[in-house]
């Protein structure tokens, strides 16, 4: 089955800096890649997703890039703010309805 | 948040007792899912449903059963709870399978 690895497990940045979280997946048939943000004690919330026919997608300060050849995708957050502090999860799907999640990255933005 | 609620939100039970968690959605979504979240493991799929009375196993289904008698309700049952089932359980739903939207979670402690 699909395996998704996420790095780093923790990331600390200064407010205003950029943050990058990377995920690799094992199944070349995967074609949908969402990112979820989970604040402490809250539900995971979808923040951005990308499909394999697109190489990059942006939404304000966040962007996701996909490299199908290398089987990895990344989340980029620019101009980080304290409210960006959370755990971020990547996931991959072969397009049915099954998602395989990475282990999560705890992002800490220091004011 | 896709109008998803979970009940109870917290539960403490003893080893060997049966436990049922409920997920309710008001979006008329066809697909519903149960995940468990444990430190370092991200979210792992337990069972999912693709319609009323239509369910299938996920990655970590041993010890769990599910039922879906109405579109809006998806029940997760632990027939005989064990300490290894102490976790946070999230329900999710989706109209077309992807993307998935999560409920607020249920924290289950098995003593």
- The structure tokens listed for A99 are 């998602």
Contact list, B100 vs chain A (CB under 8 Å):
34, 46, 97, 99
How far apart are the C-alpha atoms of A74 and A63, rounded to whole Å? Answer: 8
Strands A100-101 and A86-92: antiparallel
| A111 Cα to chain B: minimum distance (Å) | 26
- Per-residue pLDDT at A53: 84
Low-confidence spans in chain A with pLDDT less than 70: none
Cβ-proximal residues to B62 (8 Å cutoff; 6+ apart), any chain = none
- The structure tokens listed for A76 are 């980029």
- The structure tokens listed for A17 are 């800096």
Range B13-36 burial, b when 16+ CB lie within 10 A, else e:
beeeeebebebbbeeebbbbbbbb
Is B1's pLDDT higher than 70? Answer: no
Per residue in A77-100, pLDDT (tens digit) is 999 999 999 999 999 998 777 899
Phi, psi (5° rounding) for residue B84?
-70, -10
Is B40's pLDDT higher than 80? Answer: no
- Cα separations (Å) of A74 from A6, A111, B28? 9, 24, 32
Kindly state whether A104 is in contact with chain B, defined as any CB-CB distance less than 8 angstroms.
Answer: yes
- Per-residue pLDDT at B96: 86
CB A5 within 8 A of CB A55: no
Confidence band, pLDDT 50/70/90 cuts, at residue B39: confident
Choose among A42, A93, A102: nearest Cβ to B98.
A93
What percentage of chain B carries pLDDT values higher than 70?
A: 98
- Per-residue pLDDT at A80: 98
Contact list, A43 vs chain B (CB under 8 Å):
1, 90, 102-105
């Amino acid at each position: 089955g699909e395996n998704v690895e996420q790095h780093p497990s923790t990331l600390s940045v200064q407010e205003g800096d950029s943050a990058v979280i990377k995920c690799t997946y094992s199944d070349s048939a995967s074609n949908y890649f969402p990112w979820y943000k989970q604040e402490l004690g809250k539900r995971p919330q979808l923040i951005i997703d990308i499909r394999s026919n697109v190489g990059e997608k942006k939404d304000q300060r966040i962007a996701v890039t996909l490299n199908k050849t290398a089987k990895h995708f990344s989340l980029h957050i620019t101009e980080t703010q304290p409210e960006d502090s959370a755990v971020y999860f990547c996931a991959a799907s072969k397009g049915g309805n099954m998602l395989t999640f990475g282990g999560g990255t705890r992002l800490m933005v220091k004011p | 948040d896709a109008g998803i609620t979970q009940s109870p939100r917290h539960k403490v039970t003893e080893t060997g007792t049966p436990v049922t968690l409920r997920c309710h959605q008001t979006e008329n979504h066809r697909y519903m899912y149960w995940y468990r979240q444990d430190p370092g493991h991200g979210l792992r799929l337990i069972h999912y449903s693709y319609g009323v009375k239509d369910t299938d196993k996920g990655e970590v289904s041993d010890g769990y059963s599910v039922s879906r008698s109405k579109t809006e309700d998806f029940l997760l049952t632990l027939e005989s709870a064990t300490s290894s089932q102490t976790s946070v359980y999230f329900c999710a739903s989706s109209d077309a399978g992807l993307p998935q939207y999560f409920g607020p979670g249920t924290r289950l402690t098995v003593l």
